Structure 1
């Protein structure tokens, strides 16, 4: 599928897109659109500072490795609420997330940021697809993200792929922290993602949750803040699987393998409830080469 790119003059405004997401109901097809969106963007230093604070990231000359997802959120929302996108946004489930940091994430821009969807596959609970996000500068690709999203109720031909099992390795506790009841609202103010399941117990109950749940990308951003000493400035990939929701408020423990070029980590809560499982590893030279 060849992506048909639409270049936007500015970053999309969120209020109208939220309304479009609320009003959209029902599955309208089984084919992803070939539409891609891209625009120029510069980073707001105040927003970056707020992100570092809410995710526990220390001050640095480099951008936090999960921060480009925040920059891309308006584009992602516009694409996923486009009339040609076949699935309603409300109810989609973020299953997995992978980021590749090809070169050091330095400076405040301007950057080019783009999003498109691809790789629709059957899943035992419906269908999954990828939202691909790319951040580029004048030299080419800096960072790439792949968010694997589940839409329940879609029937596709074929058999679901079995998830890859991670090898057993020894993990030791690296950090623990408390996720307060308002962390969903605090992260939303930074990321712009006002999904009601993250905002309050009352709004989360409308979607079947007993309490508000922490945003998966907040969990990942907080984990990467703790793993900063194990990750290089660039040339690496971090993959996570989102497991059970983290109900707010809640306490979590981060465990990881020994310091090395590759490794594993887990984020667990009460009674060893798994919330997140992941790996880090170096990129090979072909992936790191500029476009």
Structure 2
């Protein structure tokens, strides 16, 4: 296990300051990132509380019922500013601008009540080559009074030239999707609404111009909104403790209609009902 230096912050950083660092780093004179090692640090914030008004808005945007129980995806949003601070800090080898969120795994050790106070820790792990570039895991932990209650791992991909000199291409199988148990209309406002409650203001989700700069004809939904929306649909089947893992496939353009399907063994998926193209595949265990 890697020894990491813990940096204790007295409060959660603001997402805006992290995005400003990311944009500055993307400029020609902003300094280049690189290297094959991760910073041996972890950022920690103690005593984080849940704003019930914010939680209610998150529930509304993602389709959860309004309760005092924190949805399994909510600690990801709560700790996102800490993860951003890590990813825009000194020594992180991949620039934030252009990273693609390709997978996410969350383990809920027990139900979390909105009245509990959480201690959060974020660190990076597993920098490794990929056929399309390099990827890294950003780990976020939540505990209550020293006892772990939640564990999230977000995997990000940086597309880079492959050894043959070409950028790797996606290879996506297109199996015939099962009949959808539900169809959801994803509105153009989904990107801006989720950005407001999550703090993730990446312009590919909120701006047509920003989306076009990264090769998308129009804004796309946040991957973590898609995961949260699926988890909300599975709410009646969730035990007190579980792991939910997803892979983000094709982006969901805004607006769009998506098909949702789940099976008794815990598999679920989102797909384009017209083409069968998968947007997300997941498992609940």
Number of the residue aligned with 2:284: 280
C-alpha separation in 1, matches of 2:241 and 2:184: 28
TM-aligned CA deviation for residue 155 of structure 1 = 6.9
Number of equivalenced pairs? 265
Q: Once superposed, what is the RMSD of the aligned Cα atoms? A: 1.7
TM-aligned CA deviation for residue 57 of structure 1 = 0.4
Does the Cα contact within 8 Å between 2:33 and 2:92 map onto a contact in 1? no
Alignment of 1:151-162 (within 5 A): 151-153=158-160
C-alpha separation in 1, matches of 2:67 and 2:74: 13
SS of equivalent residue, structure 2 residue 53? helix
TM-aligned CA deviation for residue 15 of structure 1 = 2.1
C-alpha separation in 2, matches of 1:36 and 1:280: 28
Alignment of 1:224-243 (within 5 A): 224-232=231-239, 234-243=240-249
Find 2:61's aligned residue among 54, 58, 65: 54
Q: Deviations over 1:207-260 (max 9, x none)?
A: 11101000000000001000111211x2210010000000100001110102xx
Find 1:85's aligned residue among 92, 103, 108: 92
Number of the residue aligned with 1:264: 267
TM-aligned CA deviation for residue 106 of structure 1 = 1.6
C-alpha separation in 2, matches of 1:21 and 1:100: 29
Number of the residue aligned with 2:181: 174
C-alpha separation in 2, matches of 1:132 and 1:255: 28
Alignment of 1:248-263 (within 5 A): 248-258=254-264, 262-263=265-266
Matched, 1:246 2:252: yes
* TM-score in terms of structure 2 length: 0.89
Q: Deviations over 1:72-131 (max 9, x none)?
A: 111011110002111110011111100001011123332101110001121001111110
Stretches of structure 1 lacking an aligned partner (at least 5 in a row): 157-167, 282-291
